[in-house]
Structure 1
Amino acid sequence: MNYTLHQLQVFLKITQTQSITKAAEELHLTQPAVSIQLRNLQDQFEIPLTEVIGRRIFITDFGKEIAVAAERILNEVHAINYKTLAYKGQLIGRLKITVVSTGKYVMPYFLSDFLKQHRGIELVLDVTNKAMVIESLEKNEVDFSLVSVLPENLQVDNIELMENKLHLVGNKEQEFKRQLHEKSILETIPLIYREPGSGTRHIMEKFIKQNNLPVIKKMELTSNEAVKQAVIAGLGYSIMPLIGIKNELSNGDLQIIPVKGFPIKSNWNLIWLKNKSFSPVASSFLDYIQKEKSRTIQEWFGWLEQF
């Protein structure tokens, strides 16, 4: 047997996702690279690990047993790495964080220097919708979560990371007067919404309800990127977090439409379960955030003050 740790890692991810495409995405590899690793692993066994029916891949019973063994082997490798680093006196372990989709423009900048200082920490960062973020926190599956709207029915502690500004945006095709528009402009243009449960949608709907605006809902999309591309393509307008449209504003693909009452403001919050027992890694990260928050904001997000 000549299988490699990389082959086992790829195969385990395939069994977890039930898809070569999804495995490739999560491992940041190309689909051909994943297929090659699967084939090289399969060549070492006379019994099939997978079978393809139609366009779907299925894991055989034998393959499932190999996946269990692969996970055990990979966990042991992680343990060896951790023990080596611990012997050297380094902080080791996993840091698990879930982030709402727009939070992917925020969280990496608060993690970068911390992870550089502690090479023994393995980051597990899951970017998903708000409902899944809160669910993972409620089940105590993660150390922290990043949200723009605090959960109402869950007892949490939090630290405010930075301000979240939302503006009405459109593409570059239609010209708008530079003057400040009345809020009633929202009644005359087709609006693109995020999906139910999205923090951005919650803030948007709260503003519309408070101002009693009978708006035109054009469509509903499931990610900030999808909304952004739809607005650029001219399918409608949307209220979007400024943090996610920096490049599009710079190159002119999007424009901010000045409206009274905008920007709508909320806060990005790092939250955790009340009375949670922190691991040394999580505790160290929280200390780092409290000490370095202002510097990180100034270094990476100073441009937000222009809007």
Structure 2
Amino acid sequence: MFDRMMNLTRHVSLRQLQVFEAIARLKSFTKAADELYLTQPTVSTQIKRLTDVIGLPLFEQIGRQVHLTDTGRELETAVKDVFGVLDRFEMKVADIKGLKQGYLRLCVITTAKYFAPEVLGRFCQRYAGVDVSLKVTNRDSVIERLIGNKDDLYILGQNPDRDIDLVTRPFAPNPLYVIANRDHPLARERQIPLERLAEEYFIMREPGSGIRDYVLKTFNEAGLRPRVRMELGSNEAIKHAIYGQLGISILSLHTLIQETAHSQLTILDVQGFPLERQWSVAYAKGKELSVVANAFLTFLDEESAQLRKQLDKTYSRLSRRRENGGGSVI
């Protein structure tokens, strides 16, 4: 047994274990390669070397699905323990150094990319010795990373619908508005019923998006179904489709912060809108936060007022109406 343990410590690298953990969590060699910024042949090579050292297969592939073998499940448990020890050591070192040095890993849902880099920039200006990483992805991927404890903190637009034990702290509003081209006929209407809105072509985010699920839930609760014309993978693509008058959409007001006074977009006056949501910062219950992570939580509370001001200005630019009830005058 001792000789076998020595063989593992000599011939198994942390990189191989990292690759293994990603495949086990994502159940895909391709997704693991994307997450780790590696080529798929590199991922396959790392797993082959790890399998050769252990002497038993770690994965089996049934159709397109990757499954852990019994040996793979045992290794998964061991790897989580190893990475947990290393994470705790890293946090202890950061605590000893204080805020003169440190590292913050932040993962946010796609819509948060419109404010998260600026918030991180101001945080780094205050704490010049802190390095940060920012991962931007859709809601489902954020949850997968949270379950895998891949980051320090996570910014979400709504709590996960899965049974996950989390600590969440709301820090800023995240209102959802109906957005259209300013030349759209509904731009001249007030207090538009949701039933009327359901007659229009909608442009939606892809499956896995939190806003998509929330919008569909809103329509379902009213006994309605939106007429989905197309599904797009980013808010920027949706905005460009609205520029081209391909339909309307429901977006977070944060996605419109960069729109100028000459924007082709406008906010429609729809009954029951905005849909009020909150941005929350989350982490797994029981997770030991570093000094840097705790400092960022405090900093987010301070940033709340600034984010509210940005939203107020954006709404003012995109919702002005002509006195005669006509379209937007932005």
TM-score (norm 2): 0.64
**Structure 1 residue 159 corresponds to structure 2 residue 169:** yes
Name the counterpart of 1:11: none
Change beyond 3 A, Cα 1:18–1:282: closer
Matched with 2:140 is 131
Once the 2 structures are TM-superposed, how far is the Cα of residue 249 of structure 1 from its aligned partner? 6.3
Q: Secondary structure at the match of 1:219?
A: strand
Partner of 1:278: 289
**Residue number in structure 1 paired with 2:272:** 261
CA distance in 2, matches of 1:285, 1:121: 11
Local SS of the residue matching 2:277: strand
The within-5 A match list for 1:161-240 is 161-176=171-186, 177-240=188-251
Q: Pick one of 105, 116, 122 that aligns with 2:131.
A: 122
CA 1:249–1:266 in structure 2 vs 1: closer, same or farther (change >3 Å)?
farther
1:245 corresponds, among 256, 263, 283, to: 256
- For the 8 Å contact 2:177–2:275, the answer to whether it is kept is yes
List alignment gaps of at least 5 residues for structure 2: 1-33, 46-92, 320-330
- Tell me: CA distance 1:299–1:236, structure 2 relative to 1, closer, same or farther (3 Å): closer
C-alpha contact (below 8 Å) 1:172/1:253 kept by paired residues = yes
**Paired residue secondary structure (1:168):** strand
* Counterpart residue type for residue 183 of structure 1: L
Unaligned runs of 5+ in 1: 1-13, 20-55, 62-82
Which of 296, 303, 323 pairs up with 1:293? 303
RMSD: 3.0
Kindly indicate whether the alpha-carbon contact (under 8 Å) linking 1:96 and 1:142 is maintained by their aligned counterparts in 2: yes
SS for the counterpart of 2:245 is: coil
Greater shift in the superposed pair: 242-251 or 270-279: 242-251
SS in 1 for 2:269: coil
The answer to whether residue 147 in structure 2 is matched with residue 143 in structure 1 is no
Q: Kindly tell me the number of residue pairs found equivalent between the two proteins.
A: 235
User: What is residue 101 of structure 2 aligned with on the other side?
Assistant: 92
Separation in 2 of the partners of 1:295 and 1:255?
A: 24
Alpha-carbon distance in structure 2 between the residues aligned to 1:249 and 1:256 = 14
**1:136 alignment partner AA:** R
Could you tell me how far 1:253 is from its partner in structure 2?
1.1
Equivalent pair of 1:186/1:213 in contact (CA under 8 Å) = no
Structure 2 residue matching 1:264: 3-state secondary structure: coil
Q: 1:256 to 1:294 in 2, by over 3 A?
A: closer
Deviations 1:26-56 (A, max 9, x none): xxxxxxxxxxxxxxxxxxxxxxxxxxxxxx9
